[in-house]
Structure 1
Amino acid sequence: MLTSFPQCWGHRGASLDYPENTISSFESAARSGSEGIETDVHITSDDYILMFHDHNLGRTTRTGTGSIKSQPYADNIEHFRTTKLPEQKIPTFDETLEWLSRAENSHMIIHLDIKPSNDPVHLFTLMRKALERYPAWEESIAPRMVLGLWHPKFVDPALSILPSLRRCFIGVHLGLAQAPVFWDTCDAFSIAFPLLTIGEGPAFRARCKSAGKKVYAWTMNRPEEWALGIEWGLDVIMTDTPNAYIAFRKRMQGE
């Protein structure tokens, strides 16, 4: 019997059941037994970091339009609510840190998908200022926070501004993942699940295992995918349905 199963990280929280990238979605993932959540960051024109996937507000908000970076949070985006019910506000990074710091969430990992459109120095400087509001954040929060990096331009700023945070490559190009800029600086590799099944995928998984690198996969929502992830020994399964994967994992652990 397997003694280790992939962790469950809610993709944008429990995004099938709740509006994606909202505190309610994160809370649902935590209640399900997830070990972590995956979420995304963008910066507003007045330097608020928002947990939001798209560059534009239109897809997931009722009244929001246009790009996040072109408009302020204060007296503007702060009043927007999600299209999907139950209606929720867009959380800021500060609000997410407050949630992460609650005693009941002290075990939760947060994986931050750093979109390439962000300015690395600006974003990481704002993040560090927010983190420094928490005493001993490098001991209490940093071990549970992962910077997910798509583009090489983020690596050096991450190393210099947020050196205590773990770094993870995110992407759909296994060649780029193995370039020294990422391979030598990242502890883990977050890869689109289909890429791990074909072509160079199996060899990449084997190389990561041999080198002690962790492999995360997204977005896995079906039992047959979870079974493969368990068989392969993935470290993390990111899913929109953490409740369902946790139930599946418990059944497998009982075999």
Structure 2
Amino acid sequence: MEGLTATRPLPSPQLLQRKAADHRRTSSPWPGAFFPAGQFAAMILKMNFRGIFLAKCLVVLFSCVKGSADEDPKVYGIQNSSVFLNIPDFKVEKQQEITWLKNSIHLTKGKGSNVKYYKDRKKYEMFTNGTLKIDCLVEEDSGNYKVIVYNGMGSLQVEKNLLLSIQEIVSKPEIKWICSQKLIKVICEVKQKNKPALYLLQNNTMLSVNGPIYTNGTWKIEYPPKARILTAKFQCEVKNDVSKRTDDQEIKCSDDETPMQIQQVDDELKYRELPQSLVHAP
């Protein structure tokens, strides 16, 4: 028909939706995947949260590992004896300068056999390998000790801390018991100033008891058996980080016991010193 211009038909709504979907698919960070706007935003937030949570977990984990690795070694000494403080995990050479301090106060400083002493020469002795010997130990010798090592060029090689704890040998314990018509009680006690670890065993089995309780210079724990008649072997054990002692008794309680009869058998008590931590002669 003359005088008329042909017009292009408008695209259908379905075609427009398909083209829009194709555009979003090609511009998505995951080609070939289609996410509605709300779902895509939620996914991004979720991924960010997981990343932050993982990072926090790693920080906590590394902090825990670092804290355990940085703990200062502990050394135990016995009162009135000697202790040797070694340089942990390090071999000293002749040209290196070694300094020992206690609570930031200089004790010794030297290189090889040339050693300067800032404190009592009779109490302290430093060997050529850097080991520090302390004699005539008293409770006041407990504290933080630091060793510093420099090489011949003046560069820092080692800086280590040691925690020294001076303890007394535990006193001998005693087992006492009460046999009566109304009560049976086994008592483990030790006379000393400092609090020890006290244990009571029945036929080689550890008993669950409260305490220890401190009264008039004596630490003690008590165990009231439920049985009306008791025949068993008991062991009282007292120990700390440097020593241990025990007392063994065989206890027999029957119905014919007189009321509130306290029994104790004097017996030879066993004594044993525990090995000391990090205490070695050079």
Q: How high is the TM-score relative to the length of structure 2?
A: 0.20
TM-score by length of 1: 0.21
Find the structure with the greater CA-based Rg: 2
Higher RCO (CA-CA < 8 Å; seq separation 6+): 1
Q: Greater share of helix residues, 1 or 2?
A: 1
